[in-house]
Amino acid sequence: MKLARVGFAITVVSFVLLAGVYVRAFAFTPIEAAQGPAQKIFYIHMPAAVWTEIAVILLGIAGIFFLFLKDKRLDRFAEASAEVGTALGAVVLGTGPIWGKTVWGTWWAWEPRLTLFLLLFLLLVGYLILRGAVTDDVLRPRYAAVLGICCMIVVPFVHLSVYMFRGLHPDPVVIKPSRPSLPPEMLLTLGLSFAVFTLLYIGFVAQRVALARLREESGHA
Amino acid sequence: MSDLWRDAWTLARKDLLIEYRSRTAFLSAAVFTVLVLLVFVFGRDPTAVAAVDLAPSALWVTFTFAAMLALNRAFQLELENQAFDGLLLSPASRWSLFLGKLVGNLVFVGSIEALGLPLFVLFFNVSLGTSLFPLIGVLALATVGFVAVGTLFSAMAIRTRFAELMLPVLLLPFVLPPLMWAAQATTALLAARPLSEIRGSLYFLAAYDIVFVTVSILLFPFLVEE
């Protein structure tokens, strides 16, 4: 029960901080010259996208350790991470078109990065569907771990393909071989937003893990 | 090592022999391939879309779905009379069980493709010329990776609810990247572009194959341990 309460507290704090980040984004961060105010959505879009990917990677790592240690906690964490990743992925797929409509003039473009993010999202959805479809309590964590590992391994391929195609999506402005090309004020806002999303992820996962434990204890796993 | 391959071959041979004697799965997959190709031919307005524009998508969609049928069958076969428990009790290692299923599936899917490719050339009126062998290479590379992941997932899917639906839902996101590369390479080949243009796609397909065949072999024992 304690974990749920801590998770809830972290989540509340991070929502307040997220509001703070947006005050900073609107009032104290310059407007991007080419994209205008629409660029402000980037401060949600990008951290959520990064955390979706990290969630998939953590899912795989938890899977590897689960297969060897058979620790139930790892499975609960993997389940939580996948669910939170899916929610954050939905945020990315929701905010992307809003931005795209203003800047590209279209809600959705069959553009590699979009397509591949959609793919990442579908991987997570597939993972959750598999969890729901295995009735055996012994098999479920094991199958989920195997699928989670595969999901993690396919991510680099998804990334490599992105660089094979030239698309509409803006090129990376922060994590790239050369120095970040984002102006320092924007970079700071982005950094703060990323920190808030980190907290948000932790808060959500803690609550979800607590829920999984409760379900197991009550026999409704 | 030799034991591994001998056991794998025994299992693959058993599966293929069952298939050879009944021919139900092969015939239905073959007819399915023809039908999907026909859907593509009739689903296109010949005055608006040239056959060659649609050809790469038609080829890959057809083969993906046909392979999906084959993959579902591989472990379904073992569900009857708890045959799979028998396999697990046999002295064959888990790795050879996986390799056997993989080889069986590859032969099955390969035969479907060998049948589908000439039909595809006929229906879509594509002139392959010198790109025939590179296209076969692309097909082979894409099929190996796809079937490896598919074999691993079908071992899970058969023991879930909605087994037939589960495999495509799990597998398609995994095969979309290689399908993308394969379809691009096919487009380039059908347009008679130089081979150097598809080199990138071939590298990707090969890397995908190596990684996913290895991963599937390593992970399979965890799926079947009791």
What distance in Å separates the CA atoms of residue B192 and residue B183, rounded to the nearest whole number?
A: 14
Q: Which residues contact A176 (CB under 8 A, 6 or more apart)?
A: none
ipTM: 0.88
- DSSP letters spanning A124-154: HHHHHHHHHH---TTHHHHHHHHHHHHHHHH
What distance in Å separates the CA atoms of residue B207 and residue B213, rounded to the nearest whole number?
A: 10
Does the distance separating the beta carbons of B177 and A154 come in below 8 Å? Answer: yes
| A138: nearest CA partner in chain B | B226
pLDDT tens per residue across span B179-188? 888 988 898 8
Q: Distance of CA A109 to CAs A96, A158, A168, B224, Å? A: 10, 17, 8, 42
Residues of A in contact with B159 (CB under 8 A): 134, 136, 139, 143
The runs of H, that is alpha helices, within A24-70 are: 42-69
Residues of B in contact with A160 (CB under 8 A): 204
Nearest to B205 by CA among A167, A146, A119, A164: A164
DSSP bridge pairs for A32:
A36
**Other residues' Cβ atoms within 10 Å of the Cβ of residue A36:** 11
Give the gyration radius of chain B's Cα atoms.
18
Lowest mean pLDDT among A32-41, A205-214, B9-18: A32-41
Greater model confidence, B147 or B200: B147
Q: Which of A119, A123, A142 shows the shortest C-beta gap to B223?
A: A142
| B199: nearest CA partner in chain A | A164
Q: Which of A116, A126, A139 shows the shortest C-beta gap to B169?
A: A126
Q: How far is A14 from chain B (nearest CA, A)?
A: 32
Give exposure, A152-163, as e/b (b: 16+ Cβ within 10 Å): bbbbebbebbbe
**Per-residue pLDDT at A175:** 62
**Per-residue pLDDT at A29:** 75
Does the distance separating the beta carbons of A150 and B173 come in below 8 Å? Answer: no
DSSP bridge pairs for A36:
A32
Residues of A in contact with B172 (CB under 8 A): 122
**Per-residue pLDDT at B217:** 93
- DSSP letters spanning B111-161: HHHHHHHHHHHHHHT---GGGHHHHHHHHHHHHHHHHHHHHHHHHHHTTST
Does the distance separating the beta carbons of A133 and B162 come in below 8 Å? Answer: yes
B174 inside 8 A of chain A by CB: yes
Does the distance separating the beta carbons of A130 and B211 come in below 8 Å? Answer: no
- With cut-offs at 50, 70 and 90, classify the pLDDT of residue B215: very high
DSSP bridge pairs for A133:
none
B215 inside 8 A of chain A by CB: yes
Does the distance separating the beta carbons of A122 and B177 come in below 8 Å? Answer: no
The third-level CATH classification (topology) of the domain covering A2-217 is Four Helix Bundle (Hemerythrin (Met), subunit A) (1.20.120)
- The answer to whether the beta carbons of residues A51 and A117 sit under 8 Å apart is no
Q: How far is B39 from chain A (nearest CA, A)?
A: 24
- The answer to whether the beta carbons of residues B29 and B69 sit under 8 Å apart is yes
What distance in Å separates the CA atoms of residue B88 and residue B84, rounded to the nearest whole number?
A: 6
| B177: nearest CA partner in chain A | A158
pLDDT of B47 > 90? The answer is no
- Which chain A residues have any C-beta within 8 angstroms of a chain B C-beta? 67, 116, 119, 122-123, 126, 129-130, 133-136, 139, 142-143, 145-147, 149-150, 153-154, 157-158, 160-161, 164
Mean pLDDT of the region B99-104:
92
Q: Distance of CA B168 to CAs A130, B21, B118, B153, B174, Å? A: 12, 27, 26, 9, 10
pLDDT tens per residue across span A157-209? 887 776 666 555 666 666 665 556 677 778 888 888 889 889 899 999 999 99
Residues of B in contact with A164 (CB under 8 A): 181, 200-201, 204
What's the whole-number average pLDDT of chain B? 87
B210 inside 8 A of chain A by CB: no
All structural domains of chain A with their residue ranges: 2-217
Half-sphere exposure of A133 (CA within 13 A, CB side): 22
Q: Which residues contact B138 (CB under 8 A, 6 or more apart)?
A: B182, B185, B186, B189, B198, B201, B202, B205
Q: Which of A114, A115, A143 to substitute to test the interface with B, most B CBs within 10 Å?
A: A143
B185 inside 8 A of chain A by CB: no
Nearest to A127 by CA among A109, A145, A113: A145
Q: Which of B156, B170, B211 shows the shortest C-beta gap to A153?
A: B211
Residues of A in contact with B208 (CB under 8 A): 157
Give exposure, A202-213, as e/b (b: 16+ Cβ within 10 Å): bbbbbbbbbbbb
**Per-residue pLDDT at A97:** 85
What's the whole-number average pLDDT of chain A? 84
pLDDT tens per residue across span A88-133? 999 999 888 888 888 788 788 777 777 778 888 999 999 999 999 9
Q: How far is A164 from chain B (nearest CA, A)?
A: 8
Q: Distance of CA A201 to CAs A196, A210, B41, B61, Å? A: 9, 14, 48, 38
pLDDT tens per residue across span B14-36? 888 988 888 888 888 899 999 99
**Other residues' Cβ atoms within 10 Å of the Cβ of residue B4:** 14
**Per-residue pLDDT at A123:** 92
Residues of B in contact with A154 (CB under 8 A): 173-174, 177
**Other residues' Cβ atoms within 10 Å of the Cβ of residue B133:** 10
Mean pLDDT of the region B5-13:
88
Mean pLDDT of the region B140-161:
91
**Per-residue pLDDT at B112:** 92
What is the helix (H) or strand (E) element at residue A27, kind and residue range?
A: none
